[in-house]
Amino acid sequence: MKQLILAAAAAFAMAGAVSAQDAAIGTWQTEVDDGAFAYITIAPCGAAVCGIIARTFNADGEYQSENLGRQLVIDMVPTGAASYQGQVWRPSNDRIYLGKMDVDGDALRLRGCVAGGLLCSSQNWVRVE
Protein backbone atom coordinates (compact mmCIF):
# COMPACT_ATOMS: atom_id res chain seq x y z
CA MET A 1 0.00 0.00 0.00
CA LYS A 2 2.83 2.37 0.88
CA GLN A 3 4.44 1.74 -2.53
CA LEU A 4 1.14 2.44 -4.30
CA ILE A 5 0.80 5.78 -2.52
CA LEU A 6 4.41 6.70 -3.36
CA ALA A 7 3.89 5.73 -7.00
CA ALA A 8 0.71 7.82 -7.20
CA ALA A 9 2.47 10.81 -5.62
CA ALA A 10 5.37 10.51 -8.07
CA ALA A 11 2.97 10.30 -11.04
CA PHE A 12 1.08 13.36 -9.78
CA ALA A 13 4.34 15.32 -9.40
CA MET A 14 5.47 14.37 -12.92
CA ALA A 15 2.08 15.39 -14.36
CA GLY A 16 2.41 18.76 -12.65
CA ALA A 17 5.86 19.31 -14.17
CA VAL A 18 4.60 18.45 -17.65
CA SER A 19 1.59 20.78 -17.42
CA ALA A 20 3.80 23.60 -16.08
CA GLN A 21 5.96 23.20 -19.21
CA ASP A 22 3.01 23.51 -21.59
CA ALA A 23 2.95 27.32 -21.70
CA ALA A 24 6.33 27.52 -23.47
CA ILE A 25 6.05 24.52 -25.79
CA GLY A 26 5.89 25.51 -29.44
CA THR A 27 7.79 27.54 -32.02
CA TRP A 28 8.69 31.15 -31.28
CA GLN A 29 10.08 34.00 -33.39
CA THR A 30 12.91 35.93 -31.78
CA GLU A 31 13.55 39.65 -32.09
CA VAL A 32 16.14 40.79 -34.62
CA ASP A 33 19.63 40.55 -33.11
CA ASP A 34 22.69 41.51 -35.14
CA GLY A 35 20.60 41.74 -38.33
CA ALA A 36 18.95 38.32 -38.09
CA PHE A 37 16.14 36.52 -36.29
CA ALA A 38 15.23 32.90 -35.75
CA TYR A 39 12.45 30.46 -35.08
CA ILE A 40 13.12 28.60 -31.84
CA THR A 41 11.34 25.30 -31.20
CA ILE A 42 10.78 24.76 -27.47
CA ALA A 43 10.02 21.22 -26.30
CA PRO A 44 10.21 19.23 -23.05
CA CYS A 45 13.67 17.99 -22.02
CA GLY A 46 13.22 16.02 -18.81
CA ALA A 47 11.56 18.16 -16.15
CA ALA A 48 12.57 21.32 -18.04
CA VAL A 49 12.05 22.82 -21.49
CA CYS A 50 14.79 23.43 -24.04
CA GLY A 51 14.76 25.38 -27.28
CA ILE A 52 16.70 24.79 -30.48
CA ILE A 53 17.23 27.08 -33.45
CA ALA A 54 14.93 25.65 -36.12
CA ARG A 55 15.07 28.32 -38.86
CA THR A 56 17.03 31.55 -39.42
CA PHE A 57 16.21 34.72 -41.35
CA ASN A 58 17.98 37.93 -42.35
CA ALA A 59 17.07 40.90 -44.58
CA ASP A 60 17.31 38.65 -47.67
CA GLY A 61 14.95 35.99 -46.26
CA GLU A 62 15.56 32.53 -44.85
CA TYR A 63 19.17 31.35 -44.80
CA GLN A 64 21.14 28.38 -43.50
CA SER A 65 22.91 29.67 -40.39
CA GLU A 66 25.75 27.68 -38.88
CA ASN A 67 23.70 27.79 -35.66
CA LEU A 68 20.77 25.72 -36.95
CA GLY A 69 20.02 22.91 -34.51
CA ARG A 70 21.95 24.53 -31.66
CA GLN A 71 20.32 24.85 -28.28
CA LEU A 72 19.50 28.44 -27.35
CA VAL A 73 17.13 27.85 -24.40
CA ILE A 74 18.86 25.49 -21.97
CA ASP A 75 17.16 23.51 -19.19
CA MET A 76 14.46 26.08 -18.33
CA VAL A 77 12.74 24.65 -15.26
CA PRO A 78 9.19 25.81 -14.49
CA THR A 79 9.10 28.10 -11.45
CA GLY A 80 5.41 28.98 -11.70
CA ALA A 81 2.43 28.61 -14.02
CA ALA A 82 4.24 30.26 -16.96
CA SER A 83 7.65 31.23 -15.56
CA TYR A 84 10.95 29.43 -16.05
CA GLN A 85 14.55 29.64 -14.95
CA GLY A 86 17.62 28.12 -16.58
CA GLN A 87 20.19 29.28 -19.09
CA VAL A 88 20.24 31.00 -22.46
CA TRP A 89 22.94 31.02 -25.16
CA ARG A 90 23.54 34.13 -27.26
CA PRO A 91 24.98 33.16 -30.65
CA SER A 92 26.42 36.61 -31.47
CA ASN A 93 28.99 36.42 -28.67
CA ASP A 94 28.89 32.66 -27.96
CA ARG A 95 28.16 33.19 -24.25
CA ILE A 96 25.76 31.42 -21.90
CA TYR A 97 23.78 33.50 -19.42
CA LEU A 98 21.47 32.85 -16.50
CA GLY A 99 18.07 32.74 -18.13
CA LYS A 100 14.54 33.62 -17.14
CA MET A 101 11.47 33.20 -19.25
CA ASP A 102 7.83 34.27 -18.83
CA VAL A 103 5.00 33.26 -21.14
CA ASP A 104 1.71 35.11 -21.53
CA GLY A 105 -0.40 33.44 -24.22
CA ASP A 106 1.42 33.94 -27.52
CA ALA A 107 4.06 36.26 -26.04
CA LEU A 108 7.29 35.14 -24.40
CA ARG A 109 9.81 37.34 -22.61
CA LEU A 110 13.31 35.88 -22.42
CA ARG A 111 16.01 37.42 -20.24
CA GLY A 112 19.69 36.65 -20.14
CA CYS A 113 21.38 37.85 -16.94
CA VAL A 114 24.84 38.28 -15.42
CA ALA A 115 26.03 39.21 -11.93
CA GLY A 116 23.66 36.77 -10.29
CA GLY A 117 20.65 38.18 -12.16
CA LEU A 118 21.31 41.85 -11.37
CA LEU A 119 21.99 42.92 -14.97
CA CYS A 120 19.69 41.49 -17.62
CA SER A 121 19.00 41.99 -21.30
CA SER A 122 15.69 40.81 -22.69
CA GLN A 123 13.86 39.94 -25.88
CA ASN A 124 10.15 39.61 -26.57
CA TRP A 125 9.24 36.65 -28.76
CA VAL A 126 5.96 35.80 -30.49
CA ARG A 127 4.53 32.34 -31.01
CA VAL A 128 4.46 31.19 -34.63
CA GLU A 129 3.16 27.64 -33.95
Q: Hey, what domains does the chain have and what are their CATH numbers? A: 2-127 (2.40.128.520)
pLDDT at res. 21: 61
Q: Is the pTM of this model over 0.75?
A: yes
- Alpha carbons 39 and 56: distance in angstroms, whole number: 6
pLDDT at res. 9: 38
Residue 20 in this model has a pLDDT that exceeds 60? no
pLDDT at res. 33: 87
Q: How confident is the prediction for the chain on average, in pLDDT? A: 85
- Alpha carbons 74 and 79: distance in angstroms, whole number: 15
pLDDT at res. 8: 36
Residue 42 in this model has a pLDDT that exceeds 80? yes
8 A C-beta contact, residue 113 and residue 96: no
Say what percent of the chain tops pLDDT 90.
69
pLDDT (mean) for 7-17: 40
